[in-house]
Amino acid sequence: MSSVPAPAIASLRGSGLSWTILRPSVFASNALWWAPAIRAGEPVPDPVDGARQGVVDPRDVAAVAVEALTGTGHDAAVHTLTGPAAISVGEQALILGDVLGRDVAVTTAPLPAAAWAAGIAWSRDGHNAVVTDDVRRVLGRAPASFRTWAQDHRDAFRAGGGSPATAF
C-alpha cells in the first residue's frame, strides 16, 4: 500500500476544500479473479510470492466511505483501510479451501511486465504487510475477515457459481 505522495497532500491542504483520503489495501474481492481456476480445480496464482497483505473487505471500504461523506471528524484525514490481519495468497487459498470443502492449490506467478511489476515487487518485499485499526476506529466495529468475505461469496467459486464480477 503506497503512501499518498506529499505533493498531493500539499495540494489538497492548499485547496481550501474539505477532503478525506481512503487508502484501501488489497481488496478481498480480488480473489474473484481466481474463481475460474478454482472451479476448474487449478491452482491460483500468487504474484506476491507468499508476502502478507492487509486484505480488506470492499464492504468495509464502502462503509468507511459513507461515514467519511456523511459523518464528522474526517476532514483532512487519511484512512488506511485493512482487514484484521495481514495474510498471504496461500492463507487466502487455505481459507477458500476450508469454506469450499476442498483443497485450493497455489502456484507462484512470475512478475508481470510494466506498471504492475513495481507494485507487486513492493508487496513481495513486505511493504504491504500492514494492518491498521482505521476501519474499527471509523466504524466502531472490527473489519470483516477474509474468511467472512469468502463465506459470503463461496458460490462464486463453485461450479455454476455465476459471474465473479457480480459477487462483490
Give pLDDT tens digits for 24-52.
999 999 999 999 999 999 999 999 999 99
Element spanning 89, H or E: helix 89-100
Q: What is the distance between the alpha carbons of residues 72 and 66, in angstroms, rounded to a whole number?
A: 11
What is the Cα 15 distance to its own chain's centre? 30
- Residue 94 falls within a domain, yes or no? yes
Most confident option among 6-10, 71-75, 158-162, 164-168: 71-75
Q: Which one-letter DSSP state was computed for residue 72? A: S
Q: What CATH number does residue 88 fall under?
A: 3.40.50.720
Residue pair 82/54 in contact (Cβ under 8 Å)? The answer is: yes
Q: What is the distance between the alpha carbons of residues 148 and 126, in angstroms, rounded to a whole number?
A: 24
pLDDT above 50 (res 9):
yes
- Residue 1 falls within a domain, yes or no? no
Q: Indicate yes or no: pTM above 0.85.
A: yes
What is the count of structural domains for the chain?
Answer: 1
Structural domain of 42: 19-156
- Residue 26 falls within a domain, yes or no? yes
| Interval 49-73 mean pLDDT | 97
- Residue 165 falls within a domain, yes or no? no
